[in-house]
Chain A
Amino acid sequence: MMTPVAQRSGLGISARGVGKSYGGVSVLRDVDLDVRPGEILGLVGENGAGKSTLLRVLAGSIRPDTGEVLLNGEPAGIRTPKDAISRGVSLISQELALVPARTVLENVFLGSWDGWAGGHGRARDLQTFQRLQEETGFRLAPDAIVASLPIGRQQQVEILKALARGAQVLALDEPTAVLAGHEKEGLLDLIRKLAEGGTTVVFVSHFLDEVLSIADRVAVLRDGDLVATDDASSHQPASLVAMMVGRQVDVMYPTLPPVPEDAPVALSVEGLSRGMVRDVSLQVRAGEILGVAGLVGSGRSELLRMIFGADTPAAGRVLVHGAPLKAPSPARAMAAGLALVPESRKEQGLALTRSVRDNVAAPTLSRRRLGPFAKRKAERRAVADVARRVDLRAKGLGVPIWTLSGGNQQKALFAKWLLTEPSVLLVDEPTRGVDVVAKQQIHGLIVDLAASGVAVVVVSSEVEEVLGLAHRVVVMRRGRAVAEFAQNAAAGDVVAAAFGDEARNHD
C-alpha cells in the first residue's frame, strides 16, 4: 500500500516573455506561461511546436534568448540545470540521465554527496531511499545495477533521484512514451499522487487522452507560440488537435505537376520491418512525390534508412524499377539510382571540416577519374554547375562547409545527391533549421525533380510541408503505415491519424 506523500509547500513556476531561436529560426516566441503550485499542466502541440524547448527552458537546461523564468513570481536566476535543481526544479527527459554501470542507490544520490571525505553515509542514504520508495510505492533493489533494469524501472530511478533532491517542480518530457500499458498507469497514478502532495508537475506528451485524463490544465503550443491555456476538463482530444494545427503559412508551396497516367512504379517497398518499423509497404511512381507524416519516433526516418540500405531490414524487400535490391547497402542503393538526404546534416550528411566541394563531390568521385586520379577540373565544373542549380551561396566552394548557413548546408546536401542523377530521391526533413527563402527554394527543387520524372519520398515533421509538397500522404504511427490521404486532405485529419484514432473519434 502506498503511504501518503509528505506534504510539500507548493512552488509555482512561470515563463515570462520567453523566446528562443536557433540559427535564425525561432522555436519559441514571447511565451508567457504560469504553472500554479501543485497543479499538473500538460504541454501539447505538434512536432516542432516548441514543447520540449519550453520544458527545458523551465528546467534550466536551455537558456532562453529573451525573457525569464520565475519561481513563485520571483526571478529565479536559473542559469544551469544545477541552479534549477538547487531551487527545486527537476527535469526528467526522454534520454535518462543515469550512470548505467552503477547501482540504483548510487544513481538516486548522484551529485548530492555532501563531502568528499568519509563517503556519503550509505546508512543515511538507504534510510532516505526506503522512505521515498514507500512514498512512491516503487520496489527497487537499492544495489541492482541500473543497466540491468528495464526502461520503466530506470525511469523510476530518475524519479527517485529527483525526489531525493527535494524537487518541488517536476518537468517530464514524454514520460510514458517508453512505457508498457501497466507501467503507464502506475506512472500516471504516481504523478497524481505527487501533485496531491504539493509537487508541481509540467509534462509534455503526444498522447492526448493521457494528458486529458491527468492534467488540471493544458497549454497548447503552435509553431513556437502559446496559443491557449485552458482547463483540461473542457477539452476533448479533437478540440486540442484543432488548436494545434494551422501553422502560420510562411511559405507558398509550388504547384505540383500531375503524375502522368502511364508513369511506371519506380520504388516499391514490400513488408519492410526492423526494430519498431512493422511491415510497411508502399509504392511510388516516377514523377510522384509521396509524403510520409507521423510523430517524431513513429519510425519514419528508420523506414527511409532501411529503403536506402543504411540499416539492414529484418524482413521485406525494396524494388527499384522492378528489380529487388540484394544485400542492401548505401553503395548498392546508390548504384540502383537511390539517393538519401538524411535527417541530420551534422551527423549523417556532411563532413563539417571539409570544403563545400569535397562534400558535394563525395558520392560521385568514381565518375570523374583517370585511373586512380581524381579529375579536379571536371569536379570543379560539376560542383560549380550544381551549386548554381540549387542556388548555393558561399564565399567560394573551397571554404569549409561549417561556415555556411543552415539553408546553404542543406542546399549542398541536395547538390551532392543531384550529381548522382537519382531516379528515386528519399528526403528526410528537407527544411529543418532552414530560413524561409531557402525553404521555398528547396521545395521548388523537389517539385522540379519530380517534374523531370524522379520518384520522391518526403518525410517531414511539418504536416503542412508534407501536404503542400506531396501528391499522396502516408501517415505512420508506432512503426506502421496507418493511413493514406490524397493531396488535398485537411491538416487536421492527418494530424489526428498521426496522434491516434481516439483523436478522430471525438470529431
Chain B
Amino acid sequence: MTETSTPVVAQPSALSRSFNLRDYGVVIGVVALVIYLSLSTSTFLTTGNLTNVLDQAVVVGLLTCGATLCIISGVFDLTATASLALSAIIGVEVTQAAGVEAGFVAAVLAGAGLGALTGFIVNVSTAVNAFIATLAVSIVYRGVALVITGGAIIYPLTDQLDGVQVFTDDVPGLGITVATATLLVVALVMGVVLWATNFGRRIYAVGGNAEAARLSGIRVGSVHIGVYMASGVCSALAGLVLVARSGGGAQANMALGLELSAIAAAVIGGTSILGGEGAIWRGMVGVLLLTLISNGFNLLGWDTTFQQVVQGCLILVAIITDRYIRRARST
C-alpha cells in the first residue's frame, strides 16, 4: 500500500513514547536489575545462583504461560492452582497404582480435563464474569482434592521417588534443571501456538472483541475451552514440579495463591488485562522480574517483607500504563 494522506487519529509523540515504554519498559527493568545486582553483590553472577533463579521461576512461569493465554482471550483462570493441586494428587495416586510414567500422563490429562470443564462452566455461565465463575470452580476443585486426600499429604511408593523427582535433576551439559527445561519448552510451544497457529490468531481475535469475533464466525466458546485446557496442562506440569521438589508429596493446598502471582507476572510483562494484546515472552519477562526482585532482596539481606510492597506497586504501574494507552487510543 502506498503512503497516503489519510488522517491518522494518533499523532502525539507522548503516545508513541508510552508504547515504547510498554514494549521495553519491563525489559529495561530486568536488565537494570541484573546490572545492579551484579555490581552490588558478589554472589549474583555465580552459576549456582543463576541456576537457582531460573529454577525458582519455573512454577510461576508455567502458570504464567496459561494465564497469558487466558488473559489475551479475555478471560481469567483462577482455578490454575486448584487444578495444579488436583492433577498432582491424581498423578501421585496413579503413580502408586501404575508407575511413574503413567502418573505423569494421568496428571497432564487431568489438567487438560479440568481445564475443559472450567471452560465449559465459564461458557454456560456467561452471565457471570469469568473471574467469579473460575473463583467458584477453584473452590470446588480444592474441595475435591481435599476429599481425595482426606487432608493428608500423599506420597508415591518409596522406589518411585527417584522417578518422580526427575524435575530436580540437572539436564546434562546445559547447566539447568529439568524443571527449567520444561518451562522453556512449554513457553516456546505456547509462544508458537499464539504466534503461528490459527488457534492463536483466534485467541487474539476473541480477546480483542468477542462480539466481532463471534460475528466473524469464530466459535468463541471453543476458543475459551481451548485456552482453559492449555492453562490446565500448564498447571499440571507445575504441579509435577512441585511434587518433585517436596520429596514426592502432593496435598490439597499446594501453591495456594500462586494463580494471582501468575496473573501479576503476565500483566507486569505488558499483556493487557483487557484482552486482545500480549505475548508469552512478556509473561516470561514479568516472571523473571519478580524472581530477580525476590532474589535481590535475599542477596542484599533486605527485609523481605517489603518485597510484596514492591511487587504490588509494579502491578499497579503496569495496569495504569495499560489503561493510559487504551484511553489515549479510544479518543
Q: Residues of A with Cβ closer than 8 Å to B?
A: 24, 308, 310, 330-331, 333-335, 340, 342, 347-354, 358-359, 361-363, 365-366, 369, 372-374, 376, 384, 387-388, 392-397, 400, 402-405, 408, 416
Contacts and interface: CB of A to CB of B under 8 A. Distances in A.
Contacts of A333: 217
Contacts of B211: 347-348
A387 to B, nearest CB: 6
B329 interface: yes
Given A373-B196, A374-B196, A393 B216 contact: no
13 contacts: A334-B217, A347-B211, A354-B205, A358-B201, A359-B212, A365-B198, A365-B201, A372-B198, A373-B198, A395-B1, A395-B4, A400-B329, A402-B330
A372 B192 CA distance: 11
B49 interface: no
A369 B196 CA distance: 10
B323 interface: no
A123 B43 CA distance: 72
A403 B8 CA distance: 5
Nearest to A404: B6
B277 to A, nearest CB: 6
B201 A361 contact: yes
B276 A362 contact: no
A318 B181 CA distance: 54
Contact of A408 (B6, B198, B214): B6
A352 B213 CA distance: 12
B217 A363 contact: yes
Interface of B: 1, 3-4, 6-10, 196-202, 204-205, 207-209, 211-219, 272, 276-277, 326, 329-330
Interface centre among B199, B205, B215, B272 (most CB of A within 10 A): B215
Contact of B214 (A330, A384, A404): A330
Nearest to B4: A393
B209 A352 contact: yes
B279 to A, nearest CB: 13
A24 B8 CA distance: 12
B12 to A, nearest CB: 12
Contact of A372 (B197, B209, B216): B197
Contacts of B217: 330-331, 333-335, 363
Contact of A396 (B1, B207, B209, B272): B1
A35 to B, nearest CB: 32
A403 B205 contact: no
A393 B6 contact: yes
A333 to B, nearest CB: 8
Given A358-B201, A372-B198, A405-B6, A353 B214 contact: no
Contacts of A351: 204-205, 207-209, 212-213, 276
A397 B3 CA distance: 11
Given A366-B198, A408-B6, A354 B208 contact: yes
Contacts of B8: 395, 403-405
A430 B208 CA distance: 23
Contacts of A392: 1
A350 B201 contact: no
B201 A24 contact: no
Contacts of A340: 215
Contacts of A310: 214-215
Given A330-B215, A350-B209, A394-B4, 10 more contacts: A347-B211, A352-B329, A353-B208, A353-B276, A353-B329, A359-B212, A363-B217, A365-B198, A365-B202, A393-B1
A310 B214 CA distance: 8
A395 B201 CA distance: 22
B189 to A, nearest CB: 12
Nearest to B222: A331
A372 B200 CA distance: 10
